[in-house]
Chain A
């Protein structure tokens, strides 16, 4: 157990989640094991309905897994940990319409018990980072979808998390806004050195953003494959997306997802664990 500490920021071990209710038993996640290192940007892709959101909610302490565990810096996650921030897909529902943008960003900080001046500093800094420095006084519903998701990201940043969990955050915005937001996330990640786990169903997005892509199988979910993205750190929408290596990687991930849908997982979990992290002793 000791080697785990300091090595993985996030450890997911043998995670299993079964929903039971009204006579139906749904195994959303069967057995997931993977690690996210400190400062890494990992993208999780998988066929739709493969339990990505379930997995993320278990990691964020919002759901209790049926079996297995999630460790944040070696500490078992039992509830939402203070070092973790969550960005939801449904920004319109995740931001509180009764609070102004600044108040939305500030609310979690109040709960942290930070001083007023420190809170102001963090709010202003976070809003500046996402390019919304002068939107603090607006209500979220006065902003466009892309701007609202920026506010949600600012709220997460101001919280100063070690780990940022993002659940298909750009699924509901248009393509151009999406490209901007992708660059924003990469920029923030490089600037702030936060560990980011980014869930998406978009293969291009996963390859473009991630340092590593974890491909999940169809439900009941296991890890289909883990793939290192060996693209240069400096990425941009114009050149990276037409690079031959990008095409190779996306084709590979695409094939994996198709294989996952057909339900022929190639014993990937063991392989992957061997290459990325030693198996638990």
Chain B
């Protein structure tokens, strides 16, 4: 069954690539703007051989990873503190609901004013976008603490810190993991966007350069790379989730007793 699915998936992808080859070659679209698959593959090969590409990839991954890490730490800590301190949740709810929907992209002018085309500019946008994902999930997760588990912990004399560590955190973890997975995807989008629009070094900036220099196949090749990055990030996040939540119902499935 798994083998069949894999084969079907490969066949679908192959058909898609063939279509990409055939459509421009048949003259259905202008191949100047939509080069056939083989030309894109060739450009991708050239990119992979170019050390500048790897530097750009490194810049992009640095922006993504640092931004995500900062957002994750800040989001989790803020989420737990807001939930644990009495009245803080009520006091912050409206502010969070106001700040959260502001699109990160709207902060681009501010980022440029503050940091120009530095990495910090990218980080500002990435952190802003991913922070809310993680904060909101942490807030939900902390609310999910089972009253019986909480009472058990209290009856055995677990103090506030021990209850956070042994009860609240494991309860919130599945939510935090979901937040992290969503944030990882958003962080990549914002990293590329920031590089593309602001011109901070990275894959986004390289896409912009390819576009302005009419290197259309290279542009597509770089877009393919960003797509692959997104895919890998999602796969990675899911495997981290599975490892961290082996005990959770969503991962362990139903156990026959």
Chain A contact residues, CB within 8 Å of chain B: 57, 60-62, 80, 82, 84-86, 88, 90, 93-94, 96-99, 107-108, 111-112, 139, 141-145, 155, 159
Contact = CB atoms under 8 A, between A and B. Distances in A.
From B247, B249, B252, name the one whose CB has the most chain A CB atoms within 10 angstroms: B247
A96 B257 contact: no
B131 to A, nearest CB: 26
Given A88-B148, A88-B151, A88-B152, A96 B170 contact: yes
Contacts of B257: 142-145
Contacts of A99: 166, 247
A97 B146 CA distance: 12
Given A93-B149, A94-B148, A111-B162, A62 B157 contact: no
B155 A85 contact: yes
A80 B148 contact: no
A62 B154 contact: yes
B84 interface: no
Interface string B155-179: 1111100100011001001000000
A227 to B, nearest CB: 28
A60 B156 CA distance: 10
Interface in B18-69: none
A143 B157 CA distance: 26
Contacts of A155: 156
B156 A97 contact: no
A93 B148 contact: yes
From B149, B155, B173, name the one whose CB has the most chain A CB atoms within 10 angstroms: B155
19 contacts: A60-B155, A62-B151, A62-B154, A80-B155, A80-B156, A86-B151, A94-B152, A96-B149, A98-B247, A98-B248, A99-B166, A108-B157, A111-B157, A111-B159, A111-B162, A141-B252, A141-B255, A143-B257, A159-B156
B247 A84 contact: no
B4 to A, nearest CB: 32
B175 to A, nearest CB: 14
A86 B155 CA distance: 7
A98 B166 CA distance: 9
Contacts of A88: 148, 151-152
Given A80-B157, A98-B170, A142-B255, A93 B247 contact: no
B158 A93 contact: no
A111 to B, nearest CB: 5
A99 B248 CA distance: 11
Contacts of A96: 149, 166-167, 170
B148 A97 contact: no
Nearest to A109: B156
Contacts of B162: 111
Nearest to A89: B148
A79 B82 CA distance: 25
Interface string B163-206: 00011001001000000000000000000000000000000000
Nearest to A156: B156
Contact of A112 (B149, B155, B157, B247): B157
A108 B159 CA distance: 11
A145 B148 CA distance: 16
B247 A85 contact: no
A97 B158 contact: no
A93 B155 contact: no
A85 B149 contact: no
Contacts of A107: 156, 158, 166
Contacts of B148: 88, 90, 93-94
